[in-house]
């Protein structure tokens, strides 16, 4: 079964990297990184910071778009276009298919994000003559955030339509970034606000924790155990979401 | 021995925004396909052919009834090792080239690299595929996609071949090629079960047929039996008279 999952992933990666829309977003990302030049020229101080901020911002925006598009289409397109009738008529159990597809998506997103990060690193070196490998750590944080988002969208796309799952993905992204702010209401006087904020806090992914800002400013060094906790919780998201998606797909009527 | 046994199959769909109304797509359908025969599954549009095939493949769950595919329940991985399936309108990894798409399919059967190449080569000769293998599947014409569809169904040399409207989109040469492919599989003792509207082709290759209408069987006979009981009539005459009556 591992071999079959491997080949499903391989086909998924090949298909995603050949997808024109995704390639388009990737090149928009590259253009935005180069566009950092304009922003930096306009800046009076901290030219370097401008470069880095627009660049990492570009990686984030491109990452979000790619995740939303590829994630919402990952299982949905195959089901909609009846490709699945060919794929699953082989000795390939549905859960293995879901696992293979999801791993393929996560690898493809990693390839795209780290390619953009590399472009940024080299461009920065070229423009400012500064070697700033922290960019990779920052992009790794962005990647982890995308991993969590991917899982939500793939899961949503199993139960709703493509557009609804993109829409929910955007909501998760916005709300998840503000999850920490919910803590303010934890000790609120109203029991309703208290209960709601606690419920939401635990239901939403705390995407704010994956913000790349502190790493880039160089003021904070990331302790190893924090890094481990972040990777661990992202991995947990993958396992839970893949399990739930597999359960949904297992029972799904495919015609 | 039967390759496929269907007894009292029933499938109702819930329709409407609130899923209140129900339609019976297949209703109390029973028939068997024997090992080694070519069985044609006929019926007008919307009579329940695709629904039946989807149930046989385990893609949908029947409302009631029993299905045995090569002695196993529908959709079991064990039986899928020995089945080839061609859906109506096949699409396979649209962004991959035909060759790569078939390669991945071969890997699903855990075939080795050289074995897959050998089989793709043999199928390319048999099905007349050339450009199909190089172009991405999304850029294929209808008939080219159908050939890739055959190839993905045949790559594991299946004991039982199940096909939904296999002649769709094929030109006359393609249909001849298809008949040859099917006959060759019968010589090797394989079983073929397919749905179709193209009565002249069915007449040429099938051993036995059944006709369904509104989800139930209205006629079943061997081709030999048909030509004995209704000499001089083509399958089309018989089909038309069956559809005409009761309308
Ligand atoms: N998902 C579905 N939801 C509701 N009704 C459906 C669904 N799928 C099929 N039906 C209905 O079931 C009936 C049988 O459809 P089916 O596709 O099995 O016919 P068919 O014999 O394959 O027709 P054709 O020759 O046109 O391919 C039709 O009335 C169709 O409207
Ligand atoms: Mg049909």
B94: nearest Cα among A80, A249, A245: A80
Domains of chain A: which residue ranges? 2-251
Residue B247: pLDDT band (50, 70, 90) is very low
Beta bridge partners of B216: B213
For helices A47-74 and A134-159, angle between their N-to-C axes, nearest 10 degrees: 20
Residue A206 structure tokens = 């705390």
Residues A99-138 as b or e (16 or more Cβ within 10 Å = b): bbbbbbbbbbbbebbbebbebbbebbeeeeeeebebbbeb
B39: nearest Cα among B213, B126, B166, B156: B166
What's the pTM value of the predicted model, to 2 decimals? 0.89
Q: Tell me the pLDDT tens digit for each residue of A224-242.
A: 888 888 888 889 888 998 9
B167: nearest Cα among B180, B186, B152: B180
Collect contacts of A35-44 with beta carbons under 8 A, ≥24 apart.
Answer: A36/A123, A37/A127, A40/A127
Give chain B's mean pLDDT.
90
Residue A91: pLDDT band (50, 70, 90) is very high
Q: Tell me the pLDDT tens digit for each residue of A3-48.
A: 999 999 999 999 999 888 999 999 999 999 888 878 777 777 777 7
Q: What is the ipTM of this complex?
A: 0.89
% residues pLDDT > 90 (chain B)? 60
Sign of the alpha-carbon torsion through A33, A34, A39, A41:
positive
* 35-74 in chain B: CB under 8 A from chain A: 50-51, 54, 57, 59-61
The ligand minimizing its distance to the Cα of B59 is 1
pLDDT for A69 equals: 92
Residues in chain B: 247
- Enumerate residues lining ligand 1, CB below 6 A: A 255; B 13, 15, 23, 25, 43, 45-51
Residues in chain A: 255
From chain B, pick out residues whose CB is under 8 angstroms from the CB of A91: 77-78, 80-81, 108-109
The answer to whether residue A209 scores a pLDDT higher than 80 is: no
């Amino acid at each position: 079964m591992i071999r079959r999952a491997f080949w499903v992933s391989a086909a998924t990666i090949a298909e995603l990297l050949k997808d024109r829309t995704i390639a388009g977003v990737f090149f928009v990302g590259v253009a935005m990184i180069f566009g950092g030049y304009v922003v930096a020229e306009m800046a009076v101080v901290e030219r370097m910071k401008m470069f880095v901020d627009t660049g990492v911002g570009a990686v984030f925006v491109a990452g979000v778009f790619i995740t939303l598009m590829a994630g919402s289409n990952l299982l949905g397109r195959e089901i909609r276009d009846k490709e699945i009738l060919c794929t699953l008529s082989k000795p390939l159990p549905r859960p293995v298919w879901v696992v293979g597809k999801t791993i393929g998506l996560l690898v493809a997103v990693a390839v795209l994000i780290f390619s953009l990060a590399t472009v940024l690193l080299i461009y920065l070196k070229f423009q400012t003559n500064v070697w700033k490998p922290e960019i990779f750590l920052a992009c790794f944080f962005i990647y982890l955030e995308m991993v969590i988002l991917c899982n939500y969208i793939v899961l949503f796309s199993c139960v709703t339509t493509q557009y609804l799952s993109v829409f929910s993905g955007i909501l998760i992204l916005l709300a998840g970034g503000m999850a920490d702010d919910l803590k303010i209401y934890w000790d609120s006087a109203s029991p309703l606000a208290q209960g709601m904020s606690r419920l939401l806090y635990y239901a939403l992914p705390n995407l704010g924790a994956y913000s790349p800002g502190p790493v880039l400013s160089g003021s904070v060094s990331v302790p190893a155990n924090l890094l481990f906790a972040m990777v661990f919780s992202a991995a947990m998201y993958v396992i839970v979401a893949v399990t739930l998606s597999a359960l949904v797909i297992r029972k799904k009527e495919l015609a | 021995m039967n390759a496929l046994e269907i007894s009292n199959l029933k499938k109702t769909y819930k329709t409407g925004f609130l899923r209140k109304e129900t339609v019976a797509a297949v209703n109390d359908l029973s028939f068997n396909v024997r090992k080694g025969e070519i069985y044609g599954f006929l019926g007008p549009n919307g009579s329940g052919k695709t629904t039946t095939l989807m149930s046989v493949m385990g893609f949908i769950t029947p409302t009631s009834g029993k299905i045995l595919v090569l002695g196993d329940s529908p959709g079991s991985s064990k039986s899928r090792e020995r089945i080839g399936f061609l859906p109506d309108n096949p699409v396979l990894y649209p962004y991959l080239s035909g060759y790569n798409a078939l390669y991945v399919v071969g890997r699903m059967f855990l075939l080795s690299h050289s074995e897959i190449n050998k089989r793709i080569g043999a199928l390319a000769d048999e099905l007349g595929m050339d450009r199909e293998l190089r172009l991405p599947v999304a850029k294929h014409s209808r008939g080219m996609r159908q050939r890739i569809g055959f190839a993905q169904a045949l790559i594991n040399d299946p004991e039982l071949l199940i096909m939904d409207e296999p002649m769709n989109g094929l030109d006359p040469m393609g249909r001849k090629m298809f008949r040859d492919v099917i006959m060759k599989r019968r010589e090797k003792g394989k079983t073929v079960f397919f749905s179709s509207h193209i009565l002249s082709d069915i007449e040429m290759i099938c051993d036995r047929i059944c006709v369904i209408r509104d989800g139930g069987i209205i006629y079943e006979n061997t081709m030999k039996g048909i030509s004995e009981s209704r000499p001089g009539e083509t399958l089309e005459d018989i089909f038309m008279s069956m559809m005409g009556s009761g309308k």
